[in-house]
Structure 1
Amino acid sequence: MPEGNYSTVTEFILAGLSEKPELQLALFLLFLGIYVVTVVGNLGIITLIGLNSHLHTPMYFFLSSQSFIDLCHSTVIIPKMLENFVTKKNIISYPECMTRLYFFLVFVISECHMLAEMAYDHYVAICNPLLYKVTMSYQVCSWMVIGVYSMGLVGATAHTFCMLRVIFCKADIINHYFCDLFPLLELSCSSTFISEVVVLCFSAFNILVPTLTILGSYIFIIGSILQIHSIEGRSKAFSTCSSHISAVSIFFGSAAFMYLKPSSVSSMDQGKVSSVFYTIIVPMLNPIIYSLWNKAVKVALSKLLDKRSFA
């Protein structure tokens, strides 16, 4: 059908998490609290690592970068979500929707690869400790982080370019609480085959490759840990990895559920629940997990609080 026969959509309506008016205030307060904890926790991690010279190591350099990604990731999603809880009609313009989609993809893809790099860092630290300083030099770590953001930018650009080619003309209600790929594709009047193939290919790469990297790293790590005869040594090695394993499990589990299935077989209502985990819960939990399970972070935090109390 010729493009001229379409009435192009210039704005969308976000359906949100719930259509029940009586739940809007409770959900607003809940997610406002989550956002405050997310901002304070991730800024706290970044500040703590920046101020404490003992934490100026590759492991905490990656952790600081991950906290920055989590902070930006949640900031793209939650403020608009909070606005929607207190407005009658959750309108978002087409340019704003595409912009938010782009930056969401940049940070969610970067998170995937950052988690993989953190697993590799653990692998080098435990399996090749004598070569750790050489293998994970400042220059190498810097290039690894640049590579993470490059992956995010390339993936986001490809996805957004495909989305800009899609023609929206039917319904303008996005069955989600933010502009995401599959909910937007459901509104298309044009063929979405190429866009869905691009989504599945990039999602497979950005989820499966980091997952395989993480699994491979931890297979070698577990092998090395089992060779440690000291119970204290084993416990220390496991504690180094436990927080990262928890963050990886929640993030990749929920992301894979959302993106590694075609939209035709994936319920958007189920997708909303899955999305809440990797867009909102994970960025809030990461600083809590790392601060509770990481002894060096707890010691640095205690020293910082002691100094302030003394002052």
Structure 2
Amino acid sequence: MLEVASTTKGMLVPRMTSAQRTAISSPAQGLLVYQTDGTAGFYYNASATATANWLWLPDKAGAGDNLGNGTATTAVKLAGNSLSNNGTGGISITDAGNVTVTGNNTVTGNSSTTGNSTVTGNGSVAGTLVVGATSVDPKAALDVTSTTKGLLPPRLTLTQRNAMGVPTVGMLIVQTDNTPGLYQYTATGWASVGAGNYTAESSSVGAAPTTAVTVSPAATNLVYTNNSSTTIGSVTLSPGTEGQRLVIVNNDLQYLPVVSGSGTGNILPGYAARFIYTNGAWRRES
């Protein structure tokens, strides 16, 4: 009905402000205008009724896909690209559903991951982080579910562990050398978690002291028998070697005070206590 041809001129549709556009009464479906303020660009009325439904025709080069102004009705296909604010880094998702975040990740609600998730920066979840399940335990900050996999804490050598300085009490690591095992940081330093293997390589047996003594434990087990006295002295442990373990058995009829880097603690009659030498001091483990 209308054919415009030119090699030197263009077609200029009506230009107006946002207020002028929205003031048009009962615009026809398909009516096209150019808005000069706000989010400038072409707008058309998609409504077939008297109530207008103005839609913006974004500049493809300047606005990209404009996902923020629409609602997806099908899956968004990234085709190997990432979601990013400035074109670098961001979130990458594989066909298998594995997620990689190359920056910092902050989630203010709950986060649930059924595939693999890799964060190379810092990850922060203000709600519950759920791995391997879809339901959320409201009392859990971290909920991990699996019947085929385990939880793998950070693995550090003794040198790397000590280079951390003073961590937060309760921190867990797996130490890979110098008496490897699972360690937790307590108020008195690093301590091995669990009994480990305390099978005696050698034992030192003698009557419990009646006065305070200092002992340099060369054996794996120190076994104190009944001293047949109404008094008992304290046992102070001399420095050992990093990772050295010791079991003290109290077979006396009285409490046996033991002085270590964990302070002075009593071993009940007929009981034993486990110690480990770490960070330059003996620490009681149990």
* TM-score where L is the length of structure 1: 0.18
Bigger strand fraction: 2
* TM-score where L is the length of structure 2: 0.19
Does 1 or 2 have the higher relative contact order (CA < 8 Å, sep 6+)? 1
